[in-house]
Amino acid sequence: MMRIIQSLLFFLTGISAVAQQDPLYSQYINNPMVLNPAYTGLNDNFNASVTYRNQWAGFDGHPKTFNFNSHVSLIDNKVGVGLLFINDQIGSTINTEMQAAFSYKLALDEKKTFSFGMQTGFINFRNNYNNLNLDDKTDEAFIQGENITKPNLGVGVILKSDRFMLGASIPRLLSTSISVSNGTNAQDFQLYNRHLYLFGSYVYFLNENIRFKPAILLRAVKGSPLSVDFNFNVNFNEKYTAGAFIRNFNAYGVQVQTKLGDKLKLGSTFELPIGNSVTSGDKFRDKFFTTELFLGITLPTFDFHDRSISTF
């Protein structure tokens, strides 16, 4: 068991000290703005949501992500503006970012809209080595923590209709490197590599009350294999949604969502690794369960806002 825990901690500290990865989300289909700034104001309403993800909850130092975002459609639904706040903690590393998002929407015809989006802001990378249980607390490489703030720029495009949505984005366009000293020498490390996201979803109207919405998400980053999410959701009476997803064929999950009244949405996800993709024994595998909670509101606030029920 100690070998498993040591391997996990090595993995966690390794990706945070060498090349930080973007936070994972299971409920991106509820609010694509967490991955693509072109979704800002795209549903022609005011929107706000919070997401909390608790990953691998059975281990100390496991990843925890908090996301708040809000966006609104303005100027006769031609532009969108929004804000995005993320706090992502993994081991001794805490990354905090604040972004302002903008989009311009072009109506191609009565049913199709093309949106181009940008986001800009900053990301603060912090590493507090005091939280680590070190054998040698006098090691000069771990005496001083890291606190680095870097600017960010992100871009994205989306093509949307009432039946489908296709998107591509790089939400953090600027790769970041830092110089780390081990007491005598300094070495450059890649702190962050840009991620490319490709997203697609389609809605099948099975009858008046049931809709089937499959989706796929591709995530590519230098130095890591291509990540693929398959997501399948069924909506009942435009109020209840249930679904399942699989990520890279080594993790799976189930998710549910319900509307609370006409404006609020509440969603929850539970996921586990498959077989021995993480560990070799089921009693250890159970410690890697992940939960994610989502609460959002969609509200028409201006005369030109869309008061019909949107599929995206």
pLDDT by residue (tens digit) across 223-244?
888 999 999 999 998 899 999 9
| pLDDT tens sequence across 244-274 | 999 988 889 999 999 998 889 999 999 988 7
User: Could you state, in order of their start, the residue ranges of all structural domains in the chain?
Assistant: 2-299
Per cent of the chain over pLDDT 70 is 79
Q: How confident is the model at residue 308 (pLDDT cuts 50, 70, 90)?
A: confident
C-alpha of 247 from chain center:
14
Q: How confident is the model at residue 9 (pLDDT cuts 50, 70, 90)?
A: very low
Residue 182 CB contacts under 8 Å (≥ 6 apart), including other chains? 140, 141
User: Which pLDDT belongs to residue 8?
Assistant: 36
Checking phi first, is residue 76 left (phi over 0); if not, alpha (psi -120 to 50) or beta?
A: left
Three-state secondary structure call for residue 299: strand
Residue 71 CB contacts under 8 Å (≥ 6 apart), including other chains? 33, 39, 40, 41, 46, 47, 80, 81, 82, 83, 101
Q: How confident is the model at residue 304 (pLDDT cuts 50, 70, 90)?
A: very high
Dihedral, 157, 161, 163, 166 alpha carbons, nearest 10: -10
Residue 228: half-sphere exposure toward Cβ, Cα within 13 Å: 6
Class of the CATH-defined domain 2-299: mainly beta
Residue 143 CB contacts under 8 Å (≥ 6 apart), including other chains? 129
pLDDT surpassing 90 at residue 174: no
Residue 43, both tokens: 């549903």
pLDDT surpassing 90 at residue 80: yes
pLDDT surpassing 80 at residue 196: yes
